[in-house]
Each structure stands twice: as structure tokens, then as C-alpha cells.
Structure 1
Amino acid sequence: MGTARRTVAFLGTGTMGEALLTGALAGGLDPSDMWVTARSQDHVDALTSSYAVHGTTDNATAAANAQVVVLAVPPAGLTDILAEIAGRLEEGAVVVSLADGITLADLEDLLPDGVAAARAMPSLTASVGHGLTLLTPGASCSTAQAETVTRFFERSGKVLRIAEDQHAVLSPLSSGGPAYVFYLADAMIEAGAVRGVPRDLARELITQVLTGSAAWLRADSAEVATLREKVCAPGGTGIRRIAALDRHAVRAAVVSALTQEP
């Protein structure tokens, strides 16, 4: 695929699609190289006005000249969209599905010869440049095509190449992960409010705590429990508060929640 400028098409620009769009543009993608689609013209107009990208309600038009086509649609709508665009895809294009439960074999059966497939599971933190995308290029992808897709998602954060059967296991921790972090952050902010701390101040404190904790976790290879022990001196208030969480089975509840079958 060389070093030529690459057009990217987002078919379906809902919450996840717009998060990736925002992150990719912030990561240096030229708006003139981006096409987006949505069901309503009003939504298309809002996107083109906000981001200066090309937009249309016609998926085939958006996909026609794209080297990377991202299907940001629910699984139920994927087959219809592939039928709509199949005849307009250019040879050498890569179609990337974000749909959970749609296998690479399913995708490749629906794509014309010469068009490759990949699966990706991104996270909404892509919108602020700290996304995590689980990526599986299909057997139909050449090394160059796989690298093109990887570089696209790297514009909005980190990319992990994984085996296809790992999507169901890892996605609750990756794409679902921010929900659990926000759940804890909300509880910590509320605890501050109970103690008389204004919520805006508590939010500022907790945001920095999360930022610093993430940086520490990345920089230090020690076991996570060891890092926690460094914060909680024996007999101190920190360890007593951890003990209170244990009495309420918070750790067990988190493990149970994240191991639930979908």
C-alpha cells in the first residue's frame, strides 16, 4: 500500500465511532482523508461541521475510495452494510469490524476477493488519545495491510495484537474497563462529599490520584499488591480502610462482575 495518503471511512459514527474519529484526528489524521456516515443527514451535518471531514448517509459512497473501512455498527446491521458496500470496495482495502461476536471467517465470507478483513475492539478513551484497541488482522491481511490498520488505531492510543479467541476474554477489561474505574472514582468522590469536600475539588483530587497511580503502575514492575502495600502502612488508616472494603467483599464482587458470561 506504499506511503501514499490513506483514506479512512467510518461507517456508523455513534459513540464509539466518534471517539475513534476524535482520537485519530488529534493524532494527526488529515480531516480531508476521513469519510463518515450516519443514518440521519442532521447527524452527518453535525459531524462534518465539527470535524471538517467528508460525510454522507450513503455507506457505499464513503467506502468507495477508502483503504481502511471501519464498520462501527451493531452486529445485527453488519451483513446488510457489507452487502451495500461490497461492490464499491477497492482492491487492497481492509474492512475492520468493531462488532462483537462477528468472526473473521464471517467477514471474509462476505467480502469480495482482494479485500482483507480485521477485527478490532477499541475503547472510548480513544477520544482523549489514550485508547486501547485489541486488534486481530485476518489471514486475508498482508503484513503491510495489518501495519496500516495498526498505525491508524495507534493515532488514538495503544494497540494490542491478539488472537481472535481472546476478544471475549479481554474486552471486559479493555473496552469495558473505564466503566469500573469511573464507578470507583464516583464512589471516592461521594465519600469526599460525605466528609464535606466539595465534589469539584474531590474530582480534581481523584483525577490526579488515578493519573499518578496509572503512571506508577506502568513504571514499576512489582506486583500490584506490593504497590498497594507501600501505600498502606501496617496498623495505619489506609490498611484499615482496605480491610473495610474486604469485609464488604468488594474485591470478590469485582472479580465476579468481570467474569460474568455475556
Structure 2
Amino acid sequence: MAILGAGVMGETLLAGLLRAGWSADDVVVTDRRPERCQELVARYGVGVAGNADAVEGAETVVVVVKPQDLDDLLDEIGPRLADGVLLVSLCAGVTTARIESRVGPGVAVVRVMPNTPAQVSQGMAAISAGAHASADDLARVHTMLAATGRVVTVPERYQDAVTAISGSGPAYLFYVVESMIEAGVQLGLPRDTSTELVVQTMLGSATLLSQTGGHPTELREMVTSPGGTTAAAVRTLEQHGVRAAFMAAIEAARDRSQLLSGE
């Protein structure tokens, strides 16, 4: 396997694969910063190479670069990609058709939208097949990504929505956590106490939602006694249009993903 682009997500995938039993001898990574490559060699014992050399002989090529850098990268590696290679793209907003137009017809392309909780093996990734990708190719990518969390297969037309929900989603939750911590400080709590209260409340609530399978409305109503403190808080959130603001924000993220796909 060649992993082109050893930033945060590239390293996250690399670490997950090695934890899942992959041999470091079977992985080559690339990065435009030589010092970053040496850091990964020291940390994981993987091989490093330039992009064109890295894909020579690789069965799977994982591309983890910024969308604006992708075309130049594909121009560089395209002639070196042999028929039968599986190219896995973690580039936000980039369609499989765009990638396929710059590589040979014998290259299978699978598009992935991961998210940052993959760093702690709690990621959520959605994968979509390109025109030449088989069920076996999808299964291969599913196995790879399962090393960093959960994986779902979706038609590619859903990927912009996936990007807006789970790809960008951690940022929304961190924003809420940040706001709640600041509110606790304003109410007189020490910052470390406020942080612990909020983080554990988030973790516990997510675990409760996941393990019970309860509807979020039902679980919210369990906390919301008539005329109580929670009811007062929820009423204030509704008055400030928080639900509508979240919907508008997620639509904006979807729109930006669509725009990236056309750039």
C-alpha cells in the first residue's frame, strides 16, 4: 500500500492499519516535507518514497491530500498506476469521475469521507464506488477503514451530505462543548471542573444514545421535566433559533462540498 499524504488523516489510517495487523514492510508513505517522512519512519518503521516511486508495484494507493493539490498529484502518478490498482481517495468534495478522468480505465476508484475521531478508533467513514470499482474493491476499503472505526457504504450522490454531517460534524460538537465550558466558567465553575462536566456529559449522552437505540427526542424528554431547568434551557435555545442555525450550517457545508467537487 502507498499512502500519499502523511498528514493527520494519513497518519491516522496508517496507525489503524498497523494496529489491525498490517506489516510496516508492506506500506510506503509520502509527504512533501522530508522531516515529516523521517518522523513516520522513526515512529512506525514504514518505507518512504516520492509519489511516483511509491505507487510502483502498489496494489492499493490511498490519496490523502488537499483537494486543490489532487490534479497535480494525479498528473504525477497517473502514468505509473498499473491496471488493477485500487485508488482510494480521502479528498473532500472530489468525485470519483474527476479522478477517473485523469487515470487509466483499469484503475478502480473508491471515494471515502472519514472524520477525525478515527484518531482514537471511533471514526465514522462513508465509502462510495467509482465506475470501475467492484464489490471486492469496496470490501477491501471497508476492511481498511474498519481499523479506525465504523464504515458505511453509500451511493456517491450522498457524499456531499455525508461530508456535511459526519465529516464536518466533530467541529460542530466541539463548538457546542466549547460554548458549554465557557458557560460553566461564566456561572462560576473552575475551568477544569467545567471541562470535565461537559466532556463526560457528552460522552455519556452519546453512549446512552448508541447503546439504548432510543430516539434523541425521547431521550431529551426524559431529562426535560415540565417547568424545570432543562425546559427553560430548551425553550431559550428554540427562541434563539439554534435548531434552524444547525440546519443552515449543515446545508452550507453541503454546498461547499458541492462547490469543491466542481473546482
Q: Please confirm whether the aligned pair reaches a TM-score higher than 0.5, indicating the same fold.
A: yes
Shift of 1:45: 1.0
Residues 111-159 of structure 1, C-alpha deviation per residue, up to 9 Å, x if partnerless?
2243211111111111110111110022312222221111001110111
| 3-state SS of paired residue (2:101) | helix
Aligned to 2:29: 36
Gaps of 5+ in 2: 257-263
Aligned to 1:5: none
Partners in 2 of 1:20 and 1:124 — Cα distance? 10
The separation in 2 between residues aligned to 1:256 and 1:48, in whole angstroms, is 43
The 5-angstrom pairing of residues 103-114 of structure 1 reads 103-114=95-106
Matching residue's letter, 2:227? G
Determine what percentage of the aligned residue pairs are the same residue: 38
Q: What's the CA shift for 1:108?
A: 2.0
Which one has a larger percent helix, Structure 1 or Structure 2? 2
Greater mean alpha carbon deviation, residues 151-160 or residues 242-251 = 242-251
Alpha-carbon shift at residue 74 of structure 1 (Å): 2.0
Q: How does 1:31-70 map to 2 (within 5 A)?
A: 31-56=24-49, 58-70=50-62
Residue in structure 1 matched with residue 243 of structure 2 by the alignment: 251
What residue is the counterpart of 2:133 in the other structure?
A: 141
Give the residue type in structure 2 aligned to 1:207: V
Q: In the aligned structure 2, how far is the partner of 1:123 from the partner of 1:24?
A: 16
Residue number in structure 2 paired with 1:9: 2
Q: Which amino acid aligns with 2:41?
A: T
**Which of 218, 226, 233 is equivalent to 1:241?**
233
Is the 8 Å Cα contact of residues 92 and 163 (structure 2) preserved in structure 1?
A: no
Which residue of 58, 63, 78 corresponds with 2:70?
78
How far off is 1:206 after superposition?
2.0
> CA RMSD, aligned part only?
1.8
- Mapped partners of 2:29, 2:15: distance in 1: 12
With over 3 angstroms needed to count, the CA separation of the structure-2 counterparts of 1:30 and 1:232, relative to structure 1, is farther
Q: Secondary structure at the match of 2:165?
A: coil
Give aligned pairs, total.
254
Partner residue of 2:212? 220
CA contact (8 A) 1:69 1:94 kept: yes
- Quickly say closer, same or farther: Cα 1:170–1:41, change in 2 above 3 A: same
Alpha-carbon contact 2:113-2:162 (below 8 Å) kept: no
Q: 1:219 Cα shift? A: 2.5
Q: 2:58 and 2:202 mapped to 1: Cα distance?
A: 38
Runs of at least 5 residues in structure 1 that lack an aligned partner in the other structure: 1-7
Q: Is the 8 A contact 2:105 2:132 kept in 1?
A: no
Q: Could you say which residue in structure 2 is the equivalent of 1:3?
A: none
1:69 deviates by 0.8
Distance 2:218 2:207 in 1: 15
- Code of the residue aligned with 1:154 in structure 2: it is A
Aligned counterparts of 1:125 and 1:10: Cα–Cα separation in 2: 19
AA aligned opposite 1:237: T
**Amino acid corresponding to residue 15 of structure 1 in structure 2:** V
